[in-house]
Amino acid sequence: MTTIPFDLNFTARKLLHLISRKDVTGDDKRKNTVPDFLKQKDKKSDSINNGPKSKTLSLYENKSFVEQKPVAIITGATSGIGKEFAYRFASLGFNLIITGRRKNIISQTASEIIKNYKVNVKVVIADLSVKKDMDNLLKTIEAQKNIEVLVNNAGFGLYETFETHKIKNQLTMLKVHVAAPVILIDKVIPQMVINKKGIIINVTSLAAYTPTAHNAMYTSTKSFLTSYSESLAMQLQKYGIHVQCLCPGFTITDFHKKADYQKNLLPAGIVNWMSPSQVVDYSLEHLKNGKVICIPGAANRFLMHLISIVPRKMYYYLTNHYYRIGIHDKSKQYA
């Protein structure tokens, strides 16, 4: 077995620490950093509150939802990156269809968006691994004739090693991370092709390029969605459809807070945390130039370069040595 000298471990750790300190900084204010083709001229809204309907909460919905404004669909919009995308597209004049599992929280988010941006919002309470919930979401999408944006952001982490896993949890992850995005993309593409325009943003993870011992299924599903996004981007470009694969590193969201990532990794000085606002800034900025693989953060991009040149045996050693996360059975959190 290859033995890595201690001084090499120390050097790699310090190098990552120094680079990460030069990463994106600043406050968490939402910027208007967007390509021109996303900006909407019509900012008017004729909203009427019709109240909740089944699992779809139709807030301030009327005919203007269908006839006037373009629609952005965002999954996993309860918090974090998905919530930030919802605010950002609302600020651009898009009506929204947003999904999440925590009804009280996402309904509050919808109310805030409506109040601040005067757009229409449909909240679909859905677990994307459940067929009935997916069918309800697809039915909601079918009623829209002007869908221009799809953000596949929903996801969760499993904090259990594969040898101690519960296969039900692993298969649920496959449904949420792989099957749901593919089904939703299939649903919106025909309309986007006819309209000769559209944006599909698949939120994967830096983990797609950094397999670890404790995240076999998570990193594998993210790797699939990354490769799938690249293929789609090449295939759909001729129709004016922009496909982006957003690969954030460690981001300050409920996802990481509940996993105690900050507690376990920040003291080591390895990780530079980004805010959801910074991640979404980077995503929207690079829609301008058609960039497909988007990795926010200079430290994360440096890490990707480093991983590409480090021998695999050394990578395995360093990953196992520094990736100190807790393994909590029965613990999972949707983004």
175: region left, alpha or beta (phi > 0 left; psi from -120 to 50 alpha): alpha
pLDDT at position 327: 39
Asked, for residue 52, whether it belongs to a domain, the answer is yes
Between CA 146 and CA 17 the distance in angstroms is 46
Asked, for residue 1, whether it belongs to a domain, the answer is no
Which tokens in the block code for residue 96? Answer: 């929204």
Residue 127 phi, psi (nearest 5): -100, 110
Average pLDDT in the chain: 78
Higher-confidence residue of 261 and 10: namely 261
Amino acid at 67: E
pLDDT at position 289: 87
pLDDT at position 163: 74
Asked, for residue 95, whether it belongs to a domain, the answer is yes
Q: Which residues are catalytic?
A: 218, 222
Between CA 21 and CA 183 the distance in angstroms is 40
- Highest mean pLDDT: which of 29-43, 45-59, 239-253? 239-253
* ∠ CA 73-222-150, rounded to 5°: 10
pLDDT confidence band for 253 (50 / 70 / 90): low
Instruction: Give the domain CATH number at 143.
Output: 3.40.50.720
pLDDT at position 184: 98
What DSSP character marks residue 251?
B
Asked, for residue 97, whether it belongs to a domain, the answer is yes
pLDDT at position 314: 86
Question: Strand pairing partners for 294?
Answer: 246
What DSSP character marks residue 238?
G
Kindly report which listed range (144-158, 282-296, 313-327) carries the lowest average pLDDT score. 313-327
pLDDT confidence band for 119 (50 / 70 / 90): very high
In this structure, are residues 224 and 211 in contact, taking their beta carbons and an 8 Å threshold?
A: no
Reported as half-sphere exposure (CB side, CA atoms, 13 A), residue 17 has a value of: 13
pLDDT at position 38: 67
pLDDT at position 53: 39
Asked, for residue 255, whether it belongs to a domain, the answer is yes
* ∠ CA 182-81-30, rounded to 5°: 135
Whether pLDDT at 20 is above 90: no
pLDDT at position 268: 44
144-176 pLDDT, tens digit per residue, is 989 999 999 999 987 677 777 788 988 999 999
Task: Provide CB contacts within 8 A for 292, sequence distance 6+.
Answer: 229, 230, 233, 243, 244, 245
Amino acid at 289: N
Asked, for residue 27, whether it belongs to a domain, the answer is yes
Asked, for residue 133, whether it belongs to a domain, the answer is yes
Whether pLDDT at 41 is above 70: no
Asked, for residue 118, whether it belongs to a domain, the answer is yes
What DSSP character marks residue 159?
-
Going by DSSP bridges, is the β-strand pair 52-53/56-59 parallel, antiparallel, or unpaired?
antiparallel
pLDDT at position 165: 73
Model confidence, pTM: 0.77
Range of the domain at 204: 6-334
Whether pLDDT at 241 is above 70: yes
Whether pLDDT at 219 is above 80: yes
In this structure, are residues 252 and 275 in contact, taking their beta carbons and an 8 Å threshold?
A: yes
294-304 pLDDT, tens digit per residue, is 999 888 888 88
pLDDT confidence band for 330 (50 / 70 / 90): very low
Number of domains in the chain: 1
Higher-confidence residue of 173 and 38: namely 173
In this structure, are residues 250 and 273 in contact, taking their beta carbons and an 8 Å threshold?
A: yes
pLDDT confidence band for 249 (50 / 70 / 90): confident
163-212 pLDDT, tens digit per residue, is 777 889 889 999 999 999 999 999 999 999 999 999 999 999 988 888 88
Residue 256 phi, psi (nearest 5): -80, -30
Which tokens in the block code for residue 127? Answer: 């677990």
Higher-confidence residue of 123 and 57: namely 123
